[in-house]
Structure 1
Amino acid sequence: MSTLAKLWTVEDVATFLGVPVATLYQWRHHRTGPRGHRIGRHLRYVPEDVMSWVQDQE
Structure 2
Amino acid sequence: MTTAELAALIRRSPNAVRVMRHRGQGPVGTRVGREVLYDRADVAAWLKAKRAADPLAHRAAYAA
TM range (shorter): 0.7 to 0.9
Q: What is aligned with 1:33?
A: 26
Taking CA–CA contacts closer than 8 Å with sequence separation of 6 or more, which of the two structures ends up with the larger relative contact order?
A: 1
5+ residue gaps, structure 1: 1-7
| Structure with greater proportional helix content | 2
% same residue: 27
Matched residue pairs, number?
Answer: 51
Structure 2 residue runs of 5 or longer lacking an equivalent are 52-64
In 1, Cα distance between equivalents of 2:38 and 2:26: 11
Question: RMSD over aligned Cα, in angstroms?
Answer: 0.8
Q: What TM-score do you get using the length of structure 2 for normalisation? A: 0.74
The within-5 A match list for 1:1-58 is: 8-58=1-51
Q: TM-score, normalised by structure 1?
A: 0.81
Runs of 4+ in 1 over 4 A off after TM superposition: none
